[in-house]
Amino acid sequence: MKRLRSAPLALAAALGAIVVILFAAGAPPLEAMRVIFEGAFGTTDRLGATLMAWTPLVLAAAGLLITFQAGLWNIGVEGQIAMGAIGAAWMARSVEGPSLVVVPLTLIGGAVFGAAWALIPAWLRTRFRVHEIFSGVALSFVAAAIAVYLIIGPWSRTGVASTSGTDIFDPRAWLPTIGSWRASPVGIGAAVAAVAAVLVLLRGSRFGLRIRAVGRNAESAHLLGIPTQRYLVAAFAMCGALAGIAGTVQATGFHHKLVPSISGGYGFLGVLVVLLAGFRALWIAPIALFFAAIQVGSTQLSLRLGIDSSLAGVIQGALVLVVLIVGGFQVYSAARGPVVTGEGEA
């Protein structure tokens, strides 16, 4: 109920923030918002481009929801996306065969690499009490460095040492598409399935209940007989696997090659999506769509209005700030009033 009350206020504040930013940038706000909306949804191809950005964002956010519920700040998700892309690229480059064979292998390769990379901060956290924020940031740099090494080294184009990317994969390794749509139904299906699975996992399973118990109070959960470390490791692995699939989508569904910035910033953006969603699985898909629409649609600001489209990043950041401020204000108000329970559920 509280979300229903707060949503209109947050939405109004967010729209107000967008108008102020656009106005400050010298853009006619209504026209600019119309251009962004048309750029994201105006044609079926644009809708496809928006869903192309939505897919890895939802996958990353769905994974992050699990780690957030376990009380973990898995900032290293960017690195897990990158390692997933590397795993998928390895499969795409080394396995020859029909799409029906290669594409599943790239997805599995991406998930395995992403999960394996996520197990490193899990191990550091559970074994040495190294906070996952620090290890995650460091491991993201390492993953990016590995990608760069592969691109200008063993996987470089013949006679070239450039961070432009590897050779294009064999088209049989690309995620299949329909017509001129750039978004793959396989990727979209994976994203939808991920949200559904996380929803069921966190809301309707004993596992989810225990994950949340660990996240709320690990010591109490441990005293109640829950093997907390095992659950933390499982949360990391599941998030890493979903992030790895996001990386696969980026590598085999969008770029069709490995590039250094393969994660596309969708990991960090996923953190914002989960925060805005109030840690609820059902809200991830629409909020991610909103973010993807701004990101894709804002290209039109440059093309049609001559406005620097990096404004999209400013808008996204401001949106998060505004909504968090509104949320914080409401928590503050609630603390002074009657106690409200039930907030922050999956």
Partner 1 sequence: MGRQGRWLKRFALLAAVSLVVAACGDDDGEAPEDFKFGMILVGPQNDQGWSQAHYEAGLYVVEQLGLPADAMIVLDKVNTADRPETSIESVVDEMVAGGAQMIFATSDDMKDGIEAAAAQHPDIPMIWSSGDSAWADGKGYRADLTNLGNIMGRMEYAKMIAGCAAALTSQTGKLAYLGPLINDETRRLVNSAFLGARYCWENYREQDPSTLGFEVKWIGFWFNIPGFTLDPTQVTNEFLASGADVVISGIDTTEAIVRVGQAFAADEAVWAIPYDFRGACAAAPAACLGVPYFNWGPSYVDAMQSVIDDEFEATWLWLGPDWDDINNPDTSAVGWVSGEGLSAEASASLDDFIAGLGSGDIELYRGPLNWQDGSVFLTDGEEATDFQIWYAEQLLEGIVGASAAE
CB nearer partner 1, residue 163 or residue 333 = 163
Q: How many CA atoms lie within 13 A of 235 on its CB side?
A: 32
* Shortest distance (Å) from residue 314 CB to partner 1: 14
- The two three-digit tokens of residue 264, written as one number: 């596309």
Burial of residue 143, with CB atoms counted within 10 A of its CB: 0-12 exposed, 13-18 middle, 19 or more buried: buried
CB 242 within 8 A of CB 194: yes
Of the pair 14, 81, the CB lying nearest partner 1 is at 81
Minimum Å distance from CB 241 to partner 1? 22
| Cβ proximity to partner 1, 136 vs 215, nearer residue | 136
Q: Which amino acid is at 186?
A: V
Q: Which two tokens stand for residue 38?
A: 């048309």
DSSP readout, 265-289? THHHHHHHHHHHTTT-HHHHHHHHH
Asked if residue 66 lies in contact with residue 235, where contact means CB atoms within 8 angstroms, the answer is yes
Pick 142 or 196: Cβ nearer partner 1 = 142
Minimum CB distance to partner 1 smaller for 18 or for 57:
57
CB of 78 to partner 1, least distance (A): 11
Site residues (CB under 8 A) for partner 1? 39, 43, 45, 49, 52-53, 141, 144, 148, 152-153, 156, 159-165, 168, 180, 182, 254-257, 259-266, 292, 295-296, 299-300, 302-304, 306, 309-310
Least distance (Å) between residue 205 CB and partner 1: 34
Report, in Å, the least distance between residue 172 CB and partner 1. 16
Nearer to partner 1, 55 or 69 (CB): 55
Minimum distance of partner 1 from residue 260's CB (angstroms): 4
The phi and psi torsions of 194 (rounded to 5 degrees) equal -65, -45
Please, are residues 69 and 214 in contact by the beta-carbon 8 Å criterion?
no
Q: Which is nearer to partner 1, 163 or 220 (CB)?
A: 163
- Residue of 316, 343, 233 lying closest to 17 (CA atoms): 316
- 133 token code pair: 């924020």
Asked if 135 and 74 count as a contact pair (C-beta separation under 8 A), the reply is no
Backbone angles phi, psi at 30, to 5 degrees: -65, -45
Least spacing, CB of residue 24 vs partner 1, in Å: 20
Q: Is the separation of the CB atoms in 156 and 163 below 8 Å?
A: no
